[in-house]
Structure 1
Amino acid sequence: MIKKLKSKILTSIRNKRINVFVLFLLSAFIILIFTKLSKQYTNTIAFEIEKQNVPQKYVILNDSTQLHITLKTHGFKWLRYYFTTPKIKIDFTKDIYEEDHVFVYNKSKSYLNNTQFDKEVELLSLSPEKLIFRYGINQVKKLPVKLHTNIDFSHGYNNSTPIITEPDSIVVVGPNILVSELDGLETEELVLNDVRVDLNEKVKLKLPKNKADLKFSVEEVSVKAKVERFTEGTLKIPVTLINAPKKAEIKYFPKQVSVSYYVSLSEFNTITSKDFKVICDYNKTNKNQSFLIPELVKAPVGVKNIKIGQKRIEFIVIK
């Protein structure tokens, strides 16, 4: 019993010694921190630009976004800059002037020191010493969407309707000097493999680098198309001769050519020879040439991979 009591007393003394040591260590650390923070330090820090009272008709471009300022102050003040984003306020009604179609901010170190910092902060230098703000007048423009795809259909499948984007154009609003440079917006590449169902995919637009100065009605579009099983068809199409000389008779052979094509199963039975037209233009022949080149000038919508079986039509001129 006495041994247990003695052991508890010794443990309690040890714990008190440890607690005193920890308290002493913590106090020393706090004193050290306060000593460090009480000293003055010099450092350069990037200040963001906060634009105030910009006239509504102007759009200021984000060219000048930071001002690097070297300050001298004690550690307590530096804590403020490290824990919050430091900013320099620029009032466009009194702090800037216009020169050569840009706004210029060119205030002295003493002006900044007196208006943006308190007495315990000394401003030593700033870079750049002059800020240039390009500006523009707001412009609204409608831009077509330029689709960029790499689609591989499953064997026997293809799109039976054109591949489109919804919307097919977007509206951009921003400074005229930037908007006027845009004539359309491309999509990111849409890559699809082994496709056998209808297309309905989202794809992002490739926005310009200065997109922060512009507003877009949408930043992505839908890519749509109907996909069906396709089959091959072949028809005999009569050949029509055009621009033949009036004072001569042209005999040509064959009078018909085979036209093969690729069409969806749902449309296969609707395709007839009347949907195609093949011509031979006599004006495109040379003096010593004895053949005509058949050309397809008419084909139904939705038909793909159309090929004319005969590459040449033989002819003779009878005067």
Structure 2
Amino acid sequence: MSVRRKPRFKRASIKTFSFFLIFSAVVWVLVQFSKTYTQLIEIPVNYINAPLDKSISDDRPDHVDLQLQDNGFNIYYYKIFNPQLQVDLSKAKQNNGELVYTLQNHLSDIEQQLKIDFENSLIVQEEIVVPFQFKKEKMLKVEPRIEVNYAVGFSAEESVRLKPDSVKVSGPEKIIDSINTVYTRSLKLNKVNMDLNGEVDIDTSGLGQLSFYDNSVGYYQKVEKFTEGSAEIAVEVTNVPAGLNLAYFPKTVIVYYQVNLKQFESVSAADFRVICNYREVKKGDDYMIAKIVEKPDFINNIRLNERRIQFVIKR
């Protein structure tokens, strides 16, 4: 008895069928997308150039409605990529605690941003109304965070100065009243051998609700050639109880200091005073701590070769 086999489709027939099926689907999609549709699309709004003296409310509109009449391809583009509309608040009018941005007055700019033609499309809203509150203004002291490492033989008599040393800011009253000082961004300068004169940004991190009228300040410092000097100074002991026979050593210490080369000859041992305060001696200690209590104002990097002064009490 013969077995009847099931007919099989030829592979060539399946490929031909698949091709025409896919081709038909593509043609159908192209035809459908080529048709003109009217679609309402939400366009996100991004606000720029807000007035520095105004705090913009969080209740501001976050989008506008665009009624777009176009082919399916362009509508699909807007739905997928969803371009933003930049609203320049410096061009808005102020009215009773609100900034009013009239869209009809800026159609050419909107057309360029969104790449649309308003002959067949329109924005449903006539204007964007943004509530605001006036900010409080205040001058804040700026402190430098500038680390200067000088080249060998160079230094400065004064610290780094800022110009201006204060900046004007505006913001919510609660924040403004809680802050008096801001800082520059950290800056490290190495091997400095000439006068400093530059600009550094203000560190506004964590202060996003404040508006700064200036975002940077200048810094400067006079850098000069310095040299090291030394002087031998007698150690004085103060507040020794009456009748206490105190012997201490060393009797003198060496003071090392850095001084402007031009003023080197102006420094003498008589300009220094080194003392030990016996009242500051802790119980059981057999030494005192030497301190420099007098020195010329124009020297720096001052140090002693010996700070511990040993002592014994004679009976």
**TM-score bracket for the superposition, by shorter chain length:** 0.5 to 0.7
Quote the Cα distance in structure 2 between the aligned partners of 1:74 and 1:151.
63
**Residue 165 of structure 1 aligns with which residue?**
162
Q: Deviations over 1:18-74 (max 9, x none)?
A: xxxxxxxxxxxxxx9xx9684212422113569xxx9xxx94336455513555542
Contact 2:167 2:212 in 1 (8 A): no
Tell me by how many angstroms 1:245 deviates.
1.0
Is 1:184 matched with 2:181? Answer: yes
Structural mapping, 1:19-98, within 5 Å = 38-48=36-46, 59-61=54-56, 63-64=58-59, 66-69=61-64, 72-75=67-70, 85=86, 93=96
Q: Could you tell me which residue of structure 2 aligns to residue 27 of structure 1?
A: none
TM-score by structure 2 length? 0.64
Identity %: 25
C-alpha separation in 2, matches of 1:171 and 1:122: 39
Residues 182-261 of structure 1 aligned to structure 2 (within 5 Å): 182-208=179-205, 213-216=210-213, 218-261=214-257
- Quote the Cα distance in structure 2 between the aligned partners of 1:212 and 1:143: 15
- Counterpart Cα distance in 2 of 1:151 and 1:91: 48
- Check if 1:309 corresponds to 2:299: no
Q: Indicate the SS of the match to 2:265.
A: helix
**1:258 Cα deviation from its structure 2 partner:** 0.8
Q: 1:37 to 1:66 in 2, by over 3 A?
A: farther
In structure 1, C-alpha distance between the alignment counterparts of 2:253 and 2:275, rounded to whole Å = 10
Say whether the 8 Å CA contact 2:155–2:224 is kept in structure 1.
yes
For 1:113-124, what aligned pairs fall within 5 Å after superposition? Answer: none
Aligned to 1:14: none
CA distance in 2, matches of 1:122, 1:265: 74
> 2:55 touches 2:171 (CA, 8 Å); kept in 1?
no
Q: State how far apart, in whole Å, the 2-side matches of 1:244 and 1:70 are.
A: 88
Q: Is the 8 A contact 1:49 1:67 kept in 2?
A: no
Distance 2:85 2:98 in 1: 24
Count of aligned pairs: 251
- Counterpart CA distance in 1 for 2:252 and 2:179 is 50
Residue segments in structure 2 that go unaligned for 5+ positions in a row:
1-29, 76-81, 100-120
Q: 1:278 aligns with which of 274, 281, 284?
A: 274
Counterparts of 1:92 and 1:161, CA distance in 2: 51
Residue identity in the other structure for 2:265: N
Q: 1:154 to 1:213 in 2, by over 3 A?
A: closer
Gaps of 5+ in 1: 1-31, 97-119, 124-130
Equivalent position amino acid for 1:204 in 2: D
Query: RMSD of aligned C-alpha atoms?
Result: 4.3
